[in-house]
Structures are given as structure tokens and as C-alpha cells.
Structure 1
């Protein structure tokens, strides 16, 4: 049972209340923004809560036990603090969000209703909707090692051991032409084989997207070098925009051996039977002596 501050409890018991909701959002870049559905600004805990900011909230679903609490917040892109480019850049993905019920006549009379992080964000042309997940959602996430044929390490981390700062695995260049919002022709990567940067990481070092990361979908070096991202960046790419790029990995054992010479650190199980093996049946002329089926 939640304990209410005496002043807030008395206000609720009076039958006539002056209540509003207030949200504080701490983005991935450390910036904290405040919003309230009241028609005047509020301030407490060193946070200024913008009035009538376009945020509204659904009913908060809460229950006993470890079931994750959740609710959604909706907003129009009318606040100067909520910019479309920041949503597109992922600054709100996983952001911490706190929700208070507060007496707007006396902001010291308030109670924290929920605390969690922003989950899925759905964007329209002029508005957005964000799912807010409670702290118990962390217990709903898978933990531990995955037993897969492919590697479950992240390229370049301690378990992988590959040094992506080596010249063979990194490059830099600039955009020479924009083919599509997510596809560009570039200069500076002529010494790398085609597909070398497939599934790699790209970071813009100049232009409107400076310091924003990107994920490489395709890298082609036949003729003019082209790089295609999985998603177009927040701001349109312009000729002359510079970037740093790192090699990618498809998590296969052959790639680990041939591209990175790192098979000793491979974290997958390439010889583990899959569903196709369990559904096969014996054929005449095949060897059925119980030996290894690996022919690599």
C-alpha cells in the first residue's frame, strides 16, 4: 500500500482536488526534461515541468507480484523540447521516466506513481506514442548465455577479443553522392573488399548527424563504393558529410576464422544439430554408423 503525504491525503479526502500529473524523462544523453498535463508550469526536485506540452497518459496498469507494470504516454510534436530528430536518433529509447501525482497548488504535496523506462516508440507524422515499462520489466528479460550455432558475442567486446581499432577493420570517408535517404556513394573506402563493412557500425563525424550512430546493411565496392544503412539517419545526409566506419560480422564460424582469424574465441556452437536434423529420416545408400555428420 502506497503511503501518501499528509497534505496530499487531506486534499484527496476533501472531495475537491487540484491534482495534475507530471513526468520527468531522462534521455540516453543525460538530459532531463519535465512535462505536466496542467495548464501552468510546475517545478520541484530541480526540474521545470513544461505546461500543456502535448503529453497525455493512459490508465496505469499495476498489480501485485512481479508482473511488469505498464502504461503509455502520447504526445504531439508541439513542445520545443520534444523534437522529431531526437526521437529518430533514438535518444528516448530506454530513457528513464518518472510519473508523479502532484497538487499543483502545493507541488511539495506529491506522490511518485511509477518509475520505469521507455520501451517501444511508435511515431506518426505529427505525434508519437511511447510505452512505459515498470522496473519489474527487467526481470522479464532473458539473461545468461544463448546456445546457438552463431556467435553470441558482440564484435569487439571482451568475449570476442577482436580489436576494431586495427587499420584492417576500420575506415573513414565522406559522402560524394546521395542515392537514397539511406544509401550513399562514398570516397575513402576504396582499399576495402566489397561487403567488408556489412553489418558494421558507422558514426557520422560531421554534418547534421554528427555523433549519431548508424548500422550498415550493405557495403559494395564494385565501381563506385556504396554504403547502405539499415535506417535513414535523423537528418538528411548531404554530400561532404564525413564518417568513421567499423567492420561487421555475420556471427558465422567461417567468418570468424577467415575474416578475423579469431576462431579460438568463437562463442557459438556450429556443430549443434538444428531442427532440420531432428526431422530428417534415413535414406538408402547413406552411412548410418553413428559417426559424425560433419563434413567441413
Structure 2
């Protein structure tokens, strides 16, 4: 094993697979390495923190920090969310023979922070899923997502493609109707925002107002997919979708404010 050799030939590597299918390889070595058919570009500024592994139920986490010197990782892409949820594998190889490797950890990218000198990305292991609540909390709004297996609303006719005619800030004008898009999604299929999603705050006529300004400049004529949304209220579920039987909320359950009411109010 190269880890036991008298002369250290250890190189740390990262394989990052984004949700859109793009795979990127990086290494802390001073030259590029080919591992499993993927070229891992030299990024000496990439450094991992101590990797915490446990035999118990605690979440396995680590941090990866680095300078934004690689053309594959851009500050704008980080801020736009292209790397959110990306799957990362961290391993060590023998740089004289990259076939030999030792896996150090894997998981999904969580919080990403940008500083003056670079970025820090949190890598959350599989056991981090145990931090999530075991059961759902009650809420007056529906906890299902429009069109998922619990909601069961057919979405085939509620999503469509359109072209962008103009974009001013967070207001996008389409060449198709924007009615019913409030709370929905706008997916970009071209230009600089390709692969990103924007949440729609409201839609009226042919204009949609996004919850945030698009990460990159929008060109007229770019192709987008718009998906209808739902405000998760019982009234909308019953009146607009005719789906009250699948409503996943408790709109009539008394809240904690009931305990603070005076008698006779």
C-alpha cells in the first residue's frame, strides 16, 4: 500500500458530479492526474479540513476550502446554485500510479460560503440524513408539492415551453400566458442561466415576477419551461385543482394562539 511507503507519494483528489450531469475532477497535486478515466485538474489551493468519521449515528461532515483558481469552479456558478447538492467523492491516490486509491469520504455539497480569498463548501455524508425530522409537523398549508405522489395532480398539461421576450430585473415577459404560475418554477434552457431554476412569485397575463433576479443576464428569445404553482391553501386545492381529498394540511386545527384568548372573545 502506497500509504506505508517510506517515500510519500500521496495526492488528494475530488470528483464532483453536479445535478445536471457535469463531472469535474480536481487534485491537490501540482500536475493533472487521470483517475478512472477522468482528468483531475491540478488545484493546489484546494485543501480539506479534518474528516470526521464515526461508528455511531452522528453525521459525518467535512469542509473543503479552496481558491477560485480553477476554470471549472466559478464564483458566479457557486452563487447561482449550480453546485448545490452536487455529489462529491474525496479520496487519496498514489500520484506515481493513480490506479491505487483510498476513499476518504463522500456526500453532498451543503452550505457554500464565499470569502475574500476563496470559498468553503460543507460536505455532508449519508448519515446527515438522520438529522431530518422523523415525522411531519402539522401546518395549515399543504405539505405536498404540486404534482408529487402525494398530491397526485396531473402536471402534463400544467407545464409548457415559452420564449422570453424581455427581462427587466425580476420581471420576465413571455410569448405565452403566465396565468397560474404563482408559486411555480421557471426553468432556463439556454444562454448563461441554462440548467438553473427560478421560483415564480406571481404571474399575470404574459408577465412573471420571479422571487429573485436571475443569476446571469437574460437574452431575448431564450427558451424556458414554465411550471404552474400552488399557494398550498385548501381553497386553491379544492377550487382550482379539485383535489381537496389529497390535501396534506390541517387548516382547521386550532393553533397555540387559542390558549392565549380571553374567555368570551
User: Mind listing any 5+ residue stretches in structure 2 that lack a counterpart?
Assistant: none
Alpha-carbon distance, 1:111 to partner: 1.8
Are the equivalent residues in 2 in contact too, given 1:201–1:248 (CA < 8 A)?
yes
Rounded Cα–Cα distance in structure 1 between residues aligned with 2:262 and 2:238? 32
Change (3 A) 1:153 1:211: same
Change (3 A) 1:205 1:95: closer
Per the alignment, residue 246 of structure 1 pairs with 227
Picking from 173, 194, 198, the partner of 1:185 is 173
1:8 aligns with 2:3: yes
SS at match of 1:256: helix
Change (3 A) 1:244 1:19: closer
SS at match of 2:124: strand
CA RMSD of aligned residues (A): 2.6
Picking from 77, 84, 90, the partner of 2:68 is 77
Are the equivalent residues in 2 in contact too, given 1:8–1:109 (CA < 8 A)?
no
Rounded Cα–Cα distance in structure 1 between residues aligned with 2:93 and 2:149? 46
User: Mind listing any 5+ residue stretches in structure 1 that lack a counterpart?
Assistant: 1-5, 287-296
How many correspondences in the alignment?
265
Which has the higher Rg, Structure 1 or Structure 2?
A: 1
1:236 aligns with 2:224: no
Alpha-carbon distance, 1:160 to partner: 1.0
Per the alignment, residue 243 of structure 2 pairs with 262
Change (3 A) 1:226 1:58: same
| TM-score with structure 2 setting the length | 0.87
1:50 aligns with 2:41: yes
Change (3 A) 1:78 1:255: same
1:215 aligns with 2:215: no
Picking from 92, 117, 120, the partner of 2:111 is 120
Rounded Cα–Cα distance in structure 1 between residues aligned with 2:16 and 2:200? 30
Alpha-carbon distance, 1:37 to partner: 0.9
Over 6 Å off, 4+ runs:
none
Alpha-carbon distance, 1:27 to partner: 1.6
Q: Deviations over 1:2-58 (max 9, x none)?
A: xxxx3422x2xx3x5232211111221233221111112222333322112642222
